[in-house]
Amino acid sequence: MQFQTLAEYFDRLEATSSRLELIRILSTLFHEVHSADEVEEICYLVQGRIAPFFAPIEIGMAEKTIADALSHAFAIDREEVLIEFDRLGDMGLAAQKIAKGKHKETSSVSVKEVFDILTEIANTSGNGTVEKKITLFSDLLKKLDSVSIKHVVRIPLSNLRLGIGDPTIMDALAAVKLGDKKLRSYLEGAYNRTSDLGLIARTLWEAKNPVAGVDAIEKLSVQVGKPIRSELCERLPDAKKVIEKMGEVDAQYKYDGFRVQIHKKGNDIWIFSRNLENMTHMFPELIEAAKQDIDAKSVILDGEALAYNAVSEEFLPFQETTKRRRKHNIAEVAEKLPLRAFIFDILYKDGKQLLDTPLQERQKMLKETIIKDDTLLLAENNLIDDAQKLQNMLDDAITKGLEGVVIKKMNSKYEAGARNFNWVKLKRHNAGELKDTIDCVLLGYVSGKGKRTAFGAGALLVGVYDKKEDVFVTVSKIGTGLTDEEWTSIRERSKGLERDHKPARVISLIQPSVWLEPKIVIEVLADEITRSPIHTAGAVLEENKVVESGYALRFPRLVSFRDNDKSPEDATTVKELIDMYQEQGKKS
């Protein structure tokens, strides 16, 4: 396939505000792809990548480096490029405008050629790295048409602006190769085990027919070095409801840190975040502990890492732990903020995946695997079948300054990527009727008035995730809970995420001053959840009019930004929101 053809599809995807149209366009694109190699590359490019999210491969070109490449390619002063970028707010649009009229508007460069050059740039290292990357990228730009240039320039900047979620890509793959997008569940299962959409697409294209495709997809298994998508918790309102629903449970303290998945194969160690990001280099003490404290040739462990103050023997809040996410001065910061990782599950050991092994057996294997309890700490297990004992443990957790407790069914499997009642969280009760915080996604902001005019934002439009439809729906506007500095930082945090039209995966009846691509996750505290005729979370809409009211947050305030450790799809779901509403004692 010519890259110009792919770029034209990208243009159509960027312009649509309908998720169904996204699926249709992607399906048409995939119908044109006949090679397993090419569909793998296209899947990564649609994700704005040249490899799976977990692969530590970055193209390594920032805006000023891209400006240098454009300057070289089109004989224009670098400052002119940056001025155009500042004016348009998007380096892709700036590049397209600069390229127009400089050469013919057609190009014959293939997708593979572009993919290979971007990969070569990412792998460039040594003396003169920056200059080499600029030359390679500049030479590529000279060969492309202006539409292709717009999208190629956005890829190194991780800002492709297509507004496509992984479930939408899987819908299109299932429609094309399995005959029905409703068969996406097969692909989701494989994605939860492998976290690699390119691999899934390649597997489908290599199969001779849909039946063979399903069979091949189901055989894709866990591999050390490829993260498994984390199992997540449901919510219940109190200890009594937990015991009534779950019976005897294993209760563990809930730590507010980084979810870490530790992979070991010999002396090779990988550490992945909940977002599938490779964070290995950030945590040298966990690498060393994994080499010394684990009795297994190969293993995958699930845990939570927190910053630890050795002097006071206390675990620090999440805001302190986030300081460990950095690319520079890692050893220095590690000495000031050492981490401890509480390991609560084992998913693979010495050639055997353990996802289908009951929790009780996994816990026994885990205790046999962690041989030194120092940096890698075994999470404490508490078998409880009494509501009062569970409440006592929750109270104790809060006294210790922890978030709460996580409760697990003893015979449950590890359901990768799932959120169900095999795992339930109980957290501290806050003032007001709502007993838990809610993870929301920024969808836009309303320009400020009065004092906030200077900040650029006066209220945030936020939403939650509708997992069934793979869309984000509004739940509140937030105007409190931010300091002056945080209001000012909203513009900086959302730089590159602004859109001039509603993103395709956003359902909203409210028109903010500026739309944002759903990327930034925030933790929100509110007094209660109410029914709302203007918010779309849980609403029934017909022709963009509310037939049945949705749900909204009353007196919401921002607690913290969580996009460092949570993806938008990890935000609170509509189902969770409705459950929390009902837990307030109200009738849905």
pLDDT in tens, 430-440: 444 566 789 99
* Judgement on whether residues 419 and 389 belong to the same structural domain of the protein: yes
* Judgement on whether residues 469 and 577 belong to the same structural domain of the protein: yes
Quote the CA–CA distance of 568 and 437 in Å, as a whole number: 16
Q: Which residues pair with 548 in a beta bridge?
A: 540
Catalogue the active-site residues: 254
Quote the CA–CA distance of 379 and 437 in Å, as a whole number: 24
- Residues across the chain: 588
φ/ψ of residue 64, rounded to 5: -70, -35
Quote the CA–CA distance of 84 and 95 in Å, as a whole number: 9
* Judgement on whether residues 105 and 180 belong to the same structural domain of the protein: no
Residue 357: C-alpha distances to residues 414, 564, 576 (Å): 8, 31, 27
Q: What is the CATH number of the domain that holds 473?
A: 2.40.50.140
User: Is residue 465 in some structural domain?
Assistant: yes
φ/ψ of residue 290, rounded to 5: -65, -35
Look up residue 73 and give its DSSP letter: H
**What b/e sequence results for 293-322 when a residue is b if at least 16 CB atoms lie within 10 Å of its CB, and e otherwise?**
bbebebbbbbbbbbbbeeeeeebbebeebb
Quick one: pLDDT at residue 395? 85
Q: Beta-carbon neighbour count of residue 239 at 10 Å?
A: 23
User: Is residue 433 in some structural domain?
Assistant: no
Q: Which residues pair with 308 in a beta bridge?
A: 315
Listed residues 372, 393, 427: the one ending a domain: 427
Residues 96/147, Cβ–Cβ less than 8 Å: yes
Domain count, the chain: 4
Q: Beta-carbon neighbour count of residue 421 at 10 Å?
A: 15
Enter the pTM of the model. 0.84
User: Is residue 588 in some structural domain?
Assistant: no
* Judgement on whether residues 416 and 529 belong to the same structural domain of the protein: no
* Judgement on whether residues 38 and 141 belong to the same structural domain of the protein: yes
Spatial neighbors of 186 by CB under 8 A, at least 6 apart, are: 174, 178, 214, 217, 218
**Residue numbers of the chain with a pLDDT score lower than 70:** 103-104, 309-314, 428-435, 448-457, 480-481, 585-588
Residues 574/538, Cβ–Cβ less than 8 Å: yes
* Judgement on whether residues 271 and 420 belong to the same structural domain of the protein: yes
Quote the CA–CA distance of 63 and 91 in Å, as a whole number: 7
Spatial neighbors of 502 by CB under 8 A, at least 6 apart, are: 17, 508, 515
Quick one: pLDDT at residue 431? 42
Listed residues 99, 120, 154: the one ending a domain: 154
* Judgement on whether residues 196 and 256 belong to the same structural domain of the protein: no
For 420-444, give the DSSP string: EEEEEEEE---SSS--S-EEEEEEE
Residue 121: C-alpha distances to residues 61, 127, 130 (Å): 9, 14, 10
* Judgement on whether residues 452 and 514 belong to the same structural domain of the protein: yes
CA angle (58 as vertex; 52, 61 as ends), nearest 5? 145
**Upper half-sphere CA count for residue 515 (Cβ side, 13 Å):** 19
User: Is residue 173 in some structural domain?
Assistant: yes
* Judgement on whether residues 515 and 410 belong to the same structural domain of the protein: no
* Judgement on whether residues 385 and 241 belong to the same structural domain of the protein: yes
Listed residues 181, 196, 218: the one ending a domain: 218
Q: What is the CATH number of the domain that holds 93?
A: 1.10.3260.10
Dihedral, CA of residue 510, residue 516, residue 518 and residue 523, to nearest 10: -80
User: Is residue 393 in some structural domain?
Assistant: yes
For 113-157, give the DSSP string: HHHHHHHHHHH--STTHHHHHHHHHHHHHHHS-HHHHHHHHHTTT
User: Is residue 223 in some structural domain?
Assistant: no
* Judgement on whether residues 261 and 406 belong to the same structural domain of the protein: yes
User: Is residue 488 in some structural domain?
Assistant: yes
562 token code pair: 């969580």
User: Is residue 76 in some structural domain?
Assistant: yes
* Judgement on whether residues 378 and 495 belong to the same structural domain of the protein: no
Which H/E stretch holds residue 531?
A: strand 528-532
Residues 270/280, Cβ–Cβ less than 8 Å: yes
* Position 585, amino acid: G
Residues 155/121, Cβ–Cβ less than 8 Å: no
**Upper half-sphere CA count for residue 217 (Cβ side, 13 Å):** 31
Which residue range is the domain that position 405 belongs to? 232-427
User: Which of 375, 376, 348, 372 lies closest to 362 in space, CA to CA?
Assistant: 348
